[in-house]
Structure 1
Amino acid sequence: MTIQKSVLQLSVQEERIRKRVWAAVSKFSGVTSIAMDDKTGKMTLVGEVDVSRIAKKLRKICNAELVSVEVVKPSEKKPEPEKPAPAKPAEIVVPVTHFNYPYQYHSSYTNSYYQPYQNYRVVVEEPNTCVIM
């Protein structure tokens, strides 16, 4: 189904009926926009909907007539030219020496276990051992 712009002429005199019309139309799937002119009583619907079903539903609430139905052509968007990527600054590589920072990783920490409440550590000599406490 294609996107359509439909105009319906409604006879709405009370605010209560106007709210019921808005609620009934907004429940239909495929409605993308609803506009209503209170002075003339015209309601404009845009979307992929069956207008005859909407008019039939609105006739139960108030007098509704179908004025016009137009097929909306999708707007052709021009492709935007690609923007050149900003130049990346050159990376500076600094060689890392042993313990530049106080909390740097050291390979001797791989086989160690720290006790959470005391200031000593147990170094496990075998890498595949299992300790259950």
Structure 2
Amino acid sequence: MVKEVIVKANIYDEKMKQKAMKVVSELDGIQFISVDKETGKITLIGEMDPIDVVNKLNSYNKWPCRNWLHASLESVGPKEEEKSEKGSEKREDA
């Protein structure tokens, strides 16, 4: 099942953004990655385990920046298109 996962992380500059994208791109099943350094949110779409995403980001500890991302799961849900398709089906039936 394709889902949308939003992870909150300590991303404060372009270098951190690039490192975060590199780390999560190594995971299988990811179709889309978006990193917003203004809010510190990483949005992933695909067939992946959300816990694996957070663990991968948190395990990327390189000295001297231990826990440099400190990722936490913000939300998990179906992909936006799937949400709107389900909503339109309900409207047609009514």
Runs of 5+ unmatched residues, structure 1: 77-133
Shift of 1:44: 0.6
Deviation at 1:4, TM superposition (A): 0.5
1:95-119 alpha-carbon deviations (Å, 9 max, x no partner): xxxxxxxxxxxxxxxxxxxxxxxxx
Q: Who is 2:78 aligned against?
A: 71
Specify the structure having the higher radius of gyration (Cα). 1
Following TM superposition, by how much is the alpha carbon of 1:17 offset from its aligned partner in structure 2, in angstroms? 2.6
Deviation at 1:27, TM superposition (A): 1.4
Return 38-47 or 13-22, whichever deviates more. 13-22
* RMSD across aligned positions (CA): 1.9
- Give 1:15 shift: 3.0
For these two proteins, the number of residue pairs brought into alignment is 75
Instruction: Show the counterpart of 1:60.
Output: 59
1:49 alignment counterpart: 48
Whole-Å Cα distance in 2 between the matches of residues 39 and 20 of structure 1?
Answer: 16
- The alignment-based identity, stated in percent, is 27
Match in the other structure for 1:21? 20
Name the TM-score, length of structure 2 as normaliser.
0.70
Cα distance in structure 2, aligned partners of 1:39 and 1:13: 7
Question: In the TM superposition, what whole-angstrom CA distance separates every residue of 1:74-111 from its partner, at most 9, and x where no partner exists?
Answer: 859xxxxxxxxxxxxxxxxxxxxxxxxxxxxxxxxxxx
Greater RCO (CA < 8 Å, at least 6 residues apart): 2
1:63 to partner: Cα distance: 0.8
Letter in 1 for 2:50: V
**Greater helix percent: which structure?**
2
Aligned with 1:70: secondary structure? strand
**Map of 1:32 onto structure 2:** 31
Letter in 2 for 1:15: E
Amino acid at match of 1:51: P
**Residues 82-121 of structure 1 aligned to structure 2 (within 5 Å):** none
TM-score computed with the length of structure 1 as normaliser: 0.51
Runs of 5+ consecutive residues of structure 2 not aligned to the other structure:
61-68, 87-94
> How far, CA to CA, are the matches of 1:21 and 1:15 in structure 2?
10
